[in-house]
């Protein structure tokens, strides 16, 4: 354990993890409406928080956060920020995501996935791949999506799923999400549909499965889900939990970490030491460069060695005196 403790000094960076999920287990149907909680299989599925807790224990790095939740049943890409990188979590959270989803028609569950209890069944119409593709296309672009009842969204200071499990009457919020691509991978008649999805942050694939079933004239739930991409991070570069644990035991977790600010989806400005000093002291500076994130006017400030020093915000819509005013938004150094 001493080697793990020594390696802690190097634990600033990003850790790309391949989280295990239900699709790594033998497929099981949803629980019938007659079954009680005690009748359900006792398979332990890991939440995103569970993954963070394990890495925290193995590494002894207390400052760890993730950039976007994966449901316990889902597998795939989970991006963790360690040490100084935790200050950048919010800037990684809004990236596009890609998934491979397996959707089953003919039944609806209370959780909208295969871990829940069947609350409705419906006949399945005769479908063709072309008909499914047309229906998928109707979900492209901006859509109003109602979150699942069993979700981590907070209402009245408490998560929806806790209130739902107590039997309280809750209404899941509706919000605008975007689907950029919905590609049918495989249709196994009569009920199994595999889809590749590219969507905005905040989109619920469980809700998409539920809504797709209704649009096809039936009911549906999400059988399996795997996240394959977050922004520019791909599943091919992800590490298994066992590999992370082994690296921690051997005191080489730093070998698995990507640099702080790696592939941050913001333009960069390389600045001299004096400008960085002024920004770090909260002063407004005038820069010739205007490049920034169009929505939030944010950019990355780097030093002469191209190290990420902080996040800066452009204050002006138009140039003033031949430049733009900038101020530090988040400072790491």
pLDDT at 63: 94
Q: Are residues 222 and 104 in the same domain?
A: yes
Q: Are residues 140 and 183 in the same domain?
A: yes
pLDDT at 222: 96
pLDDT digits (tens, 9 = 90+) for 95-130: 999 999 999 999 999 889 998 889 999 999 999 999
Q: Are residues 49 and 161 in the same domain?
A: no
Give the domain extent around 214: 98-227
| For residues 293-303, average pLDDT | 93
pLDDT at 270: 95
Q: Is residue 315 within 8 Å of 323, Cβ to Cβ?
A: no
| For residues 14-41, average pLDDT | 65
Among 34-38, 137-141, 151-155, the range with the most confident prediction by mean pLDDT is 137-141
pLDDT at 217: 98
Query: Given a cut of 60, is residue 2 above it in pLDDT?
Result: no
pLDDT digits (tens, 9 = 90+) for 166-183: 777 777 789 999 999 999
Place 55 in a pLDDT band, splitting at 50, 70 and 90: very high
Query: Given a cut of 80, is residue 324 above it in pLDDT?
Result: yes
pLDDT at 44: 77
Query: Given a cut of 50, is residue 72 above it in pLDDT?
Result: yes
Q: Are residues 208 and 220 in the same domain?
A: yes
Q: How many domains does the chain have?
A: 3
Report the CATH number that the domain containing residue 301 is assigned in CATH: 2.30.130.10
| For residues 315-327, average pLDDT | 87
Q: Are residues 212 and 108 in the same domain?
A: yes
Report the CATH number that the domain containing residue 174 is assigned in CATH: 3.30.2350.10
Q: Are residues 46 and 118 in the same domain?
A: no
Tokens of residue 131, six digits: 């008909």
DSSP calls for 14-50: EEEEEE--GGGS---PPBPTT--GGGS----PPPHHH
Q: Are residues 110 and 203 in the same domain?
A: yes
Q: Are residues 132 and 193 in the same domain?
A: yes
Annotation says 120 is catalytic: no
The better pLDDT of the pair 170, 142 is held by 142
For the chain, the C-alpha Rg in angstroms (whole number) is 23
Closest CA to 67 of 248, 257, 233: 233
Q: Are residues 70 and 174 in the same domain?
A: no
Query: Given a cut of 90, is residue 36 above it in pLDDT?
Result: no
Q: Are residues 255 and 319 in the same domain?
A: no
DSSP calls for 233-271: EEGGG-B-HHHHHHHHHTT-GGGGPBPTTTT-SS-EEE-
Q: Is residue 251 within 8 Å of 4, Cβ to Cβ?
A: yes
pLDDT at 31: 61
Q: Are residues 114 and 183 in the same domain?
A: yes
Which of 178, 205, 227 is the last residue before a domain boundary?
227
As a whole number of angstroms, the distance between CA 151 and CA 256 comes to 31
% pLDDT > 90, the chain: 74
Catalytic residue among 7, 71, 112, 211: 71
Q: Are residues 31 and 175 in the same domain?
A: no
Residue 201: CB partners within 8 Å, gap ≥ 6? 68, 93, 94, 95, 96, 97
Please tell me the total number of residues recorded for the chain in this structure. Answer: 333
Query: Given a cut of 70, is residue 9 above it in pLDDT?
Result: no
Rounding to the nearest 10 degrees, give the CA dihedral for residues 148, 151, 156, 157. -170
User: Which one-letter DSSP state was computed for residue 171?
Assistant: -
pLDDT at 27: 43
As a whole number of angstroms, the distance between CA 225 and CA 147 comes to 16
Query: Given a cut of 90, is residue 74 above it in pLDDT?
Result: yes
Tell me the three state secondary structure of residue 92: helix
pLDDT digits (tens, 9 = 90+) for 239-289: 999 999 999 999 999 999 999 999 999 999 999 999 999 999 999 999 988
Q: Is residue 145 within 8 Å of 177, Cβ to Cβ?
A: yes
pLDDT digits (tens, 9 = 90+) for 192-207: 999 999 999 999 999 9
For helices 48-59 and 241-249, angle between their N-to-C axes, nearest 10 degrees: 20
Cis upstream peptide for 318 (omega within 30°): no
pLDDT at 28: 52
Which of 198, 227, 256 is the last residue before a domain boundary?
227
């Amino acid at each position: 354990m001493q080697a793990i403790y020594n390696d802690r000094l190097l634990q600033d960076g990003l850790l790309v993890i391949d989280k295990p999920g239900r699709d790594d287990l033998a497929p099981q149907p949803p629980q019938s409406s007659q079954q009680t909680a005690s009748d359900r299989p006792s398979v332990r599925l890991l939440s995103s928080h569970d993954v963070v807790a394990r890495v925290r224990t193995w590494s002894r790095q207390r400052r760890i956060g993730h950039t976007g939740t994966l449901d316990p049943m889902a597998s795939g890409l989970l991006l963790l920020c360690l040490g100084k990188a935790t200050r950048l979590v919010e800037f990684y959270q809004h990236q596009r995501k890609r998934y491979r989803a397996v959707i089953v028609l003919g039944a609806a569950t209370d959780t909208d996935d295969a871990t829940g209890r069947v609350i409705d069944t419906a006949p399945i119409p005769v479908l063709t791949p072309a008909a499914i593709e047309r229906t998928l296309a109707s979900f492209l672009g901006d859509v109003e999506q109602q979150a699942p009842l069993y979700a981590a969204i907070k209402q009245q200071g408490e998560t929806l799923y806790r209130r739902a499990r107590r039997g309280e009457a809750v209404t899941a919020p509706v919000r605008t999400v975007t689907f950029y691509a919905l590609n049918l991978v495989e249709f196994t008649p009569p009920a199994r549909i595999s889809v590749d999805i590219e969507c905005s942050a905040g989109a619920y694939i469980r809700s998409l499965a539920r809504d797709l079933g209704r649009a096809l004239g039936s009911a549906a739930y999400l059988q399996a889900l795997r996240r394959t991409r977050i922004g520019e991070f791909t599943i091919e570069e992800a590490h298994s939990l066992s590999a992370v644990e082994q690296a921690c035991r051997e005191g080489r977790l730093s070998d698995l970490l990507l640099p702080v600010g790696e592939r941050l989806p913001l333009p960069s400005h390389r600045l001299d030491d004096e400008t960085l000093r002024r920004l770090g002291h909260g002063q407004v500076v005038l820069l010739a460069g205007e490049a920034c994130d169009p929505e939030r006017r944010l950019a990355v400030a780097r030093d002469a060695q191209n190290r990420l020093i902080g996040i800066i915000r452009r204050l002006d819509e138009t140039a003033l005196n031949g430049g733009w005013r900038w101020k530090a938004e988040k400072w790491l150094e």
